[in-house]
Amino acid sequence: MSLLILGIESSCDETGVALVEAQGGAHVPRLLAHALHSQIEMHQAYGGVVPELASRDHIRRVLPLAEAVFAEAGRTLGAVDVVAFTRGPGLAGALLVGAGVGCALGAALDKPVLGVHHLEGHLLSPFLSADPPEFPFVALLVSGGHTQLMRVDGVGQYALLGETIDDAAGEAFDKSAKLMGLGYPGGPALSRLAQQGDPTVFALPRPLLHSGDLDFSFAGLKTAVLTQARKLGDQLEARKADLAASTQAAIVEVLVKKTLKALRQTGLQRVVVAGGVGANRLLREQLDAACARQRVRVHYPELHLCTDNGAMIAMAAAMRLQAGREQARRDYAFDVKPRWPLDSLC
Ligand code: KG4
Ligand code: ZN
């Protein structure tokens, strides 16, 4: 028996819709089609996401995206078995759009609905690739709002090993980029500029590198970048690529070394990297090199599925249902969870 799952993502500044088909047994669910609209351009003028604008844009985009997905997959709305939506964490107003549309579709079709944890979506997104990982693995979850190392033993079996005590890695990229006038979101821009710079020019701190635990801290690094930028004054423009390269090197070194420590601590031989910062080229290069030396396999989501998307939400729903961790219900009185710890799912 197969299940057709519609997934809707609207937790922040991307509207994503996707169709995933889950077969019975142990088969990895299959992505049939997905469509995405990024609001980045709209928010750029404000230097960050404006929640009210985000919600309104999700409303405009979500149904046309759904139509595109059904057309691409050659399926009809009536064929959907379960409607999944992101229930949290994220911006409340933005989440309400996806949850409202998801539950309205469920009610209209008389089909069950399922609220999905956004981070579980990121965590399981490498299962959308042609060469999916096997459990158990260490997961490095690095997004704009979260930086966590987890031990993952199966769907819904997540043990937190360490996390950031202040800013997330993506936030460190974005805030440093903003200080350098690189716009929003700065991560990709900073990483592009860094390619022309020398990462050894500025000695920036590697916070908590030798703390003995698996926690992270990036707030001090951002302050160090600010101090350095101020010190440079008029010189900043000319040295920006070096500062970008030095910043990126500091963030990546901490992420790679802590991930290796998590592997040693757990004795596991597999890593999954998920979340927007997982698109960073230097992180991929350095983690791949370090893990190859230790015969550890590293899995990433496909590059275009690193940042927020509907495919990972449909996939997480499919895998939770398949694993028997969840039952979709004909319960359309939805709520959203702007703050929602991942380990509360276990
Ligand atoms: O997972 P995501 O799309 O959204 C959240 O759930 O937060 O991650 C977005 C974050 C942003 O901070 C963005 O700057 C960062 O991922 N990011 C990158 C790169 N691509 C996206 N950071 C560094 N290098 C990149 N290539
Ligand atoms: Zn995300």
Is 308 annotated among the ligand-binding residues? yes
Integer Cα distance of 143 and 117 in angstroms: 14
Establish whether residue 13 lines the binding site of ligand 1, counting it when its CB lies within 6 angstroms of any ligand atom.
no
Establish whether residue 7 lines the binding site of ligand 1, counting it when its CB lies within 6 angstroms of any ligand atom.
no
| pLDDT above 80 for 25 | no
Best of 123, 307, 313 for a ligand 1 pocket test (most atoms within 8 Å of beta carbon): 307
Which amino acid is it at 209? Answer: L
Percent of the chain with pLDDT strictly greater than 70? 100
**Ligand 2: distance of its center to the CA of 275 in Å?**
6
Specify the pLDDT at position 85: 98
Banded model confidence at residue 163, pLDDT cuts 50, 70, 90: very high
Specify the pLDDT at position 206: 97
Banded model confidence at residue 299, pLDDT cuts 50, 70, 90: very high
Mean of pLDDT values over 292-298: 96
Mean of pLDDT values over 6-14: 98
Mean of pLDDT values over 240-265: 98
**Ligand 1: distance of its center to the CA of 170 in Å?**
5
Which ranges of the chain would DSSP assign to H, the alpha helix?
Answer: 40-44, 51-73, 92-109, 118-124, 169-179, 186-194, 219-232, 236-266, 281-293, 310-322
Q: Write out the residue range of the structural domain in which residue 23 sits.
A: 3-125+306-345
Establish whether residue 100 lines the binding site of ligand 1, counting it when its CB lies within 6 angstroms of any ligand atom.
no
Instruction: Give the torsion sign (CA, 116, 23, 125, 31).
Output: negative
User: 160 pairs with which residues across the strands?
Assistant: 150
Banded model confidence at residue 24, pLDDT cuts 50, 70, 90: confident
Establish whether residue 191 lines the binding site of ligand 1, counting it when its CB lies within 6 angstroms of any ligand atom.
yes
Cβ-proximal residues to 133 (8 Å cutoff; 6+ apart), any chain: 126, 127, 270, 272, 297, 299
| pLDDT above 80 for 200 | yes
Within this chain, do residues 107 and 41 fall inside the same structural domain, yes or no? yes
Establish whether residue 170 lines the binding site of ligand 1, counting it when its CB lies within 6 angstroms of any ligand atom.
yes
The strand pair at 297-299 and 270-274 is best described as parallel
Within this chain, do residues 63 and 91 fall inside the same structural domain, yes or no? yes
**Ligand 1: distance of its center to the CA of 188 in Å?**
7
Q: Which atom of ligand 1 is nearest to the CA of 174?
A: 14
Integer Cα distance of 131 and 290 in angstroms: 20
Measured from the Cβ of residue 294, the count of other Cβ atoms closer than 10 Å reads 10
Within this chain, do residues 160 and 258 fall inside the same structural domain, yes or no? yes
C-alpha angle 269-270-271 in degrees, rounded to nearest 5: 135
Helix (H) or strand (E) holding 147: strand 147-154
Establish whether residue 9 lines the binding site of ligand 1, counting it when its CB lies within 6 angstroms of any ligand atom.
no
Ligand nearest to C-alpha 279: 1
Within this chain, do residues 210 and 273 fall inside the same structural domain, yes or no? yes
Integer Cα distance of 29 and 73 in angstroms: 15
Mean pLDDT of the chain: 96
Question: For the segment 171-188, what is each residue's pLDDT rounded down to a tens digit?
Answer: 999 999 999 999 888 999
Check: CB of residue 88 under 8 Å from CB of residue 338: yes
Establish whether residue 308 lines the binding site of ligand 1, counting it when its CB lies within 6 angstroms of any ligand atom.
yes
Which amino acid is it at 246? Answer: S
Mean of pLDDT values over 40-56: 95
Specify the pLDDT at position 1: 78
Task: Report in angstroms the alpha-carbon separations of 90 from 117, 186, 207, 279.
Answer: 10, 19, 26, 20
Within this chain, do residues 57 and 150 fall inside the same structural domain, yes or no? no
Mean of pLDDT values over 185-205: 97
Within this chain, do residues 106 and 240 fall inside the same structural domain, yes or no? no
Banded model confidence at residue 249, pLDDT cuts 50, 70, 90: very high
Within this chain, do residues 202 and 286 fall inside the same structural domain, yes or no? yes
Mean of pLDDT values over 70-89: 98
Q: How many domains does the chain have?
A: 2
127 three-state secondary structure: helix
Which ranges of 148-235 would DSSP assign to H, the alpha helix?
Answer: 169-179, 186-194, 219-232
Mean of pLDDT values over 82-106: 98
**Ligand 2: distance of its center to the CA of 201 in Å?**
32
Specify the pLDDT at position 134: 96
User: 34 pairs with which residues across the strands?
Assistant: 18
Banded model confidence at residue 245, pLDDT cuts 50, 70, 90: very high
Mean of pLDDT values over 262-282: 97
Mean of pLDDT values over 285-292: 98
Specify the pLDDT at position 98: 98
Measured from the Cβ of residue 227, the count of other Cβ atoms closer than 10 Å reads 11
Is 145 annotated among the ligand-binding residues? yes
Within this chain, do residues 151 and 265 fall inside the same structural domain, yes or no? yes
CATH of the domain at 274: 3.30.420.40
Tokens of 282: 């230097």
Best of 277, 280, 305 for a ligand 1 pocket test (most atoms within 8 Å of beta carbon): 277
Specify the pLDDT at position 346: 80
Establish whether residue 173 lines the binding site of ligand 1, counting it when its CB lies within 6 angstroms of any ligand atom.
yes
Which amino acid is it at 25? Answer: G
Ligand nearest to C-alpha 251: 1
Domain termination site, one of 300, 317, 336: 300
Within this chain, do residues 57 and 162 fall inside the same structural domain, yes or no? no
Within this chain, do residues 159 and 279 fall inside the same structural domain, yes or no? yes
Specify the pLDDT at position 184: 86
Within this chain, do residues 88 and 21 fall inside the same structural domain, yes or no? yes
Mean of pLDDT values over 145-163: 96
Within this chain, do residues 187 and 273 fall inside the same structural domain, yes or no? yes
Tokens of 248: 């990126």
pTM metric for this prediction: 0.95
**Ligand 1: distance of its center to the CA of 169 in Å?**
9
Ligand nearest to C-alpha 146: 1
**Residue whose C-alpha is closest to residue 313's, from 169, 272, 321:** 321
